[in-house]
Amino acid sequence: MTLHLAPVSATGKALHGFAETHPRLSANSLRPYIGIFGVLLGSIIALLASRVTSFGLADLRGGLRTGFDEGAWITTSFGIGQMVAGVASPYLGAILGVRRVLLLGILLMFTTSLLGPLSPNLNAFITMQVLGGIGSGTFIPLTISFIIRSLPPRLVIYGIAVYAMNSELSQNVAASLEGWYADHWGWQWIDWQYCLMLPVMFGCISIGVPREPVNTALLRDLDWPGLAYAIIGLALLFAGLDQGNRLDWSNNGLVIGLLLSGSLVTLAFVGRELITPNPFLNLGKLLRGNLLALLLLLAGFRFIIQSTAYIIPTYLQTVQDFRELQVGSVLLWIALPQLILVLPLADLLRHTDGRWVLALGSLLIGIACWMATGLTSQWATDDFLPSQILQAIGQSFALTALLALNVRAINPSDALAIGCLLQISRLFGGEIGTAFMQTFVRVREQIHSNLVGLHVDAAAGLTTDRLAAYRGVVGAHTADLGEAGARAAKLLSATVAQQSFVLAYIDGFMAAAGGAFICLLLVAVMRRPPASPF
């Protein structure tokens, strides 16, 4: 029996016997298309929520009247909620049915999005963020399940392609949305925007996702201790990674405690999966095919995507002093190729080995990151477009092929568990990418600042000429020669800092290009995927 035919999870084994009777929609009716729109709207909301909140963190801190350190937990709390829901979704979906869990998640996120901006203090707002993360965290894992188990077979690959497109589209429109809300409507709309989208999603899910019976018999067979270990361990690790750069990693006891305790509990989860007779994941079967490599590739691509998604806005805000709407004008161009390529890519993957498409996408991403190493302090919106459009095309190829290969590597009954693994890989890959790049750029900026500073000799002719030019500029606004000299020195120091940041961002793009090369090597060692009805 091939990996594709053998379930690799407890929920897959439980649902395998009902696979033939599970309702699969007809391609000749509107229901599957309404369902696709509903679950893909959910994936947009889930991804948009964390991205918009990250861009709007300063506005949220101001609106809630809280400091930098306390406000840093706003995004962390939402991510923890998504992680908890991502791990629990396979169990809940198998017991209650995908439709019921999605509807409950929508109601929970709608309530928290409505009440969050009305919170009397930061603690109440963070509570709303955790609950909102739990609600939205059900959307992505259960989207995959609906696409694989409920759509007509010939529409599955198109559902996967549209899902992959929406994943990146939502990430790249976030800056523009946050900037618009801050300038025109107010910081509260960072949350209230979902109150407009979620009712539409609720209606689509109610109509388009098939009803399933409640399966209470699974309650006694599922690995509840393993579920608890996974939720606690992964949530602690996520919190440690998200706060690590701000608190300086090994120099902070809280970060050490979060990462150490999270690692120990996660190891306990892995150990239990190896010895329990009915594991959540059968690790032996999981390692036999391409599934582990595909999950690692997803984490790797999320690492690269989040790395570049951190570098470009930070560069534009730090070096060019752009605001969110101006940053968004760069990122919006990245979304355009994904809208154009979604259907042709789906047709291509129906007739081509997905490994070739995945390899091409990895190569294009690597070339795009290498092109961006030509960065200078003069770069603005238009200068990023060639590399970022190429990266967007590469990401479309890579992510669509990656998800298609994941779907073809599993038994459809395992869709709930695979949706969970995709969510975990996405969250951790993105979090590791952001945490790594934040720390990497900070350290490299310090190194470059020191090295550039060593070559600034106060007695050198070039330094003297530069200071004289600065004094000439600021001297027009002050008659005090001492003040003019001090301001000139500050301008020179700011120039050194600016160039140090630019060099650090170039190093960041080089690291992202190296990550794409590693992904390409991983694609090269993948086995030929098994035959699939999709």
Q: What is the pLDDT of residues 118-129, one digit of tens each?
A: 988 889 999 999
H-helix segments, 319-371: 324-351, 354-371
- Residues forming beta bridges with residue 9, ordered by sequence position: 281
Residues 6+ apart with CB under 8 A from 275: none
**291 pLDDT above the threshold of 60:** yes
* Maximum alpha-carbon separation in the chain: 87
Same domain, 74 and 136: yes
**411 pLDDT above the threshold of 90:** no
> Which token pair is 401?
């092929």
Domain count, the chain: 3
Same domain, 358 and 272: no
Mean pLDDT computed over 24-33: 77
What CATH number does residue 448 fall under? 1.20.1250.20
Identify which of 338, 346, 352, 434 has the alpha carbon closest to the alpha carbon of residue 395.
Answer: 338
> Left, alpha or beta for 196 (phi > 0: left; psi -120 to 50: alpha)?
alpha
Same domain, 310 and 235: no
User: 471-496 pLDDT, tens per residue?
Assistant: 666 655 565 556 666 666 677 777 78
Question: How far apart are alpha carbons 406 and 419 in whole angstroms?
Answer: 10
**526 pLDDT above the threshold of 90:** no
CB 281 within 8 A of CB 238: no
Average pLDDT, the chain: 82
Picking from 222, 240, 267, the residue at the C-terminal end of a domain is 222
Greatest mean pLDDT among 360-374, 385-399, 424-438, 458-472 lies in 360-374
**513 pLDDT above the threshold of 90:** yes
**4 pLDDT above the threshold of 70:** no
Q: How far is CA 156 from CA 112, 258, 355, 388, in A?
A: 32, 40, 18, 29
**Assigned domain for 16 exists:** no
User: Which domain, by its residues, includes 392?
Assistant: 289-534
Same domain, 328 and 250: no
CB 114 within 8 A of CB 254: no
Same domain, 47 and 85: yes
Same domain, 396 and 514: yes
Model pLDDT, residue 64: 84
CB 503 within 8 A of CB 311: no
The residue whose two tokens read 């939205």 is: 136
Same domain, 211 and 229: no
> Which token pair is 421?
């693994």
Identify which of 203, 193, 187 has the alpha carbon closest to the alpha carbon of residue 110.
Answer: 193
CB 51 within 8 A of CB 171: yes
> Which token pair is 170?
């939502």
**Assigned domain for 1 exists:** no
Picking from 202, 222, 242, the residue at the C-terminal end of a domain is 222
**Assigned domain for 9 exists:** no
Same domain, 310 and 448: yes
User: 193-241 pLDDT, tens per residue?
Assistant: 889 999 999 999 999 888 888 887 777 777 888 889 999 999 999 999 9
User: 149-189 pLDDT, tens per residue?
Assistant: 888 888 888 888 877 776 666 666 766 776 777 777 888 88
**Assigned domain for 19 exists:** no
Same domain, 39 and 84: yes
Model pLDDT, residue 264: 96
**Assigned domain for 12 exists:** no
- Burial of 109-144, coded b for 16+ CB within 10 Å and e otherwise, reads bbbbbebbbebeebeebbbbbbbbbbbbbbbbbbbb
**21 pLDDT above the threshold of 70:** no
CB 147 within 8 A of CB 408: no
**Assigned domain for 25 exists:** no
**Assigned domain for 11 exists:** no
Q: Structure pTM?
A: 0.85
Question: How far apart are alpha carbons 273 and 222 in whole angstroms?
Answer: 12
Same domain, 94 and 130: yes
Mean pLDDT computed over 257-283: 87
**Assigned domain for 200 exists:** yes
Same domain, 200 and 261: no
H-helix segments, 19-152: 31-55, 57-64, 68-71, 73-96, 98-115, 122-137, 139-150
Question: How far apart are alpha carbons 459 and 468 in whole angstroms?
Answer: 12
Same domain, 135 and 168: yes
